[in-house]
């Protein structure tokens, strides 16, 4: 069962906590309640009912105007066909690369809107700006910035493991870097740190990651500092499984 909490001004976090290798881990989607309601990430295919039911606590899921995926991966877009069936008027928005590399070769039947860096979707009150953020952590990765609430949606950057509350104020930066080293999602620190510089300049009030709680503006610098100062790139482990000896 997913829980839903309003984090700030029409932005709702829908979160399910699951056990992965005996440890709690969260999958979040974000609903923006607006003239054109938007769902950011869908969750995996089999999470559809719980995410849809959580959306239905706030608005009719058939009214969704946009479903937005931030890179092509099951937790981002595994439910896209099912949300399309429930909201036939919706548009799937993604990065230009997600479309060119993936969606254009898939059998998705709905409307698709690819976006490049700097483009904006107007939902009514909220305006979502697209940031192309290649290799954080996929080639096609992007993030969103809502100008209205100064909210960053960074997908898998700024995440936390464990069963977190909807809003996180603690310094869990070192734990985040340790988790990244274990799962091996970033090939290298450099493209990530370049994006960290860029999103810091946006001066966000909120950071709504896909895994863990939403960060306040007071907590955000802890995570920025950890990403600047600590190693977090691939060190020979995939989802905790050693594949090769660590580089020296
Ligand atoms: Fe991902
Ligand atoms: Fe993710």
Kindly indicate the confidence band of residue 122, based on its pLDDT and cuts at 50, 70 and 90.
very high
- How many A from CA of 13 to the centre of ligand 2? 14
- How many A from CA of 71 to the centre of ligand 2? 9
Give residue-wise pLDDT tens across range 138-157. 999 999 999 999 999 999 99
- How many A from CA of 111 to the centre of ligand 1? 23
Residues surrounding ion ligand 2 at CB below 5 Å: 75, 156, 210
**In this model, does residue 247 exceed pLDDT 70?**
no
Ligand nearest to the CA of 137: 1
- How many A from CA of 239 to the centre of ligand 2? 13
Q: What percentage of the chain exceeds 70 in pLDDT?
A: 99
Q: Give residue 248's pLDDT.
A: 64
- How many A from CA of 44 to the centre of ligand 2? 10
- How many A from CA of 6 to the centre of ligand 1? 24
Ligand nearest to the CA of 136: 1
- How many A from CA of 74 to the centre of ligand 2? 8
Residue 30 C-alpha from the chain's centroid: 8
- How many A from CA of 75 to the centre of ligand 2? 6
- How many A from CA of 137 to the centre of ligand 1? 7
- How many A from CA of 43 to the centre of ligand 1? 11
Q: Give residue 245's pLDDT.
A: 73
Q: Give residue 129's pLDDT.
A: 98
Kindly report the number of other CB atoms within 10 A of residue 192's CB atom: 21
């Amino acid at each position: 069962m997913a829980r839903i909490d309003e984090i700030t001004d029409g932005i709702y976090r829908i979160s399910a906590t699951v056990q992965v290798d005996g440890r709690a881990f969260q999958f979040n989607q974000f609903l923006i309640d607006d003239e054109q309601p938007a769902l950011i990430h869908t969750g995996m295919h089999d999470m559809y009912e719980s995410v849809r039911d959580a959306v239905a606590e706030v608005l009719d899921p058939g009214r969704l105007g946009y479903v937005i995926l931030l890179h092509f991966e099951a937790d981002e877009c595994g439910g896209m066909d099912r949300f399309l069936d429930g909201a036939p008027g919706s548009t799937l928005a993604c990065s230009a690369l997600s479309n060119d590399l993936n969606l254009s070769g898939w059998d998705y039947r709905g409307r698709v809107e690819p976006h490049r860096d700097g483009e904006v979707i107007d939902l009514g009150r909220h305006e979502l700006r697209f940031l192309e953020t290649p290799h954080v952590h996929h080639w096609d990765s992007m993030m969103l910035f809502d100008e209205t609430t100064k909210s960053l949606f960074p997908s898998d950057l700024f995440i936390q493991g464990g069963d977190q509350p909807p809003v996180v104020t603690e310094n869990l930066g070192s734990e985040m870097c340790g988790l990244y080293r274990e799962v091996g999602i970033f090939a290298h620190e450099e493209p990530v740190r370049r994006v960290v510089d860029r999103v810091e300049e946006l001066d966000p009030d909120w950071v709504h990651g896909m895994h863990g709680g939403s960060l306040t503006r007071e907590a955000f610098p802890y995570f920025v500092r950890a990403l600047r100062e600590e190693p977090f790139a691939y060190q020979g482990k995939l989802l905790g499984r050693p594949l090769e000896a660590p580089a020296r």
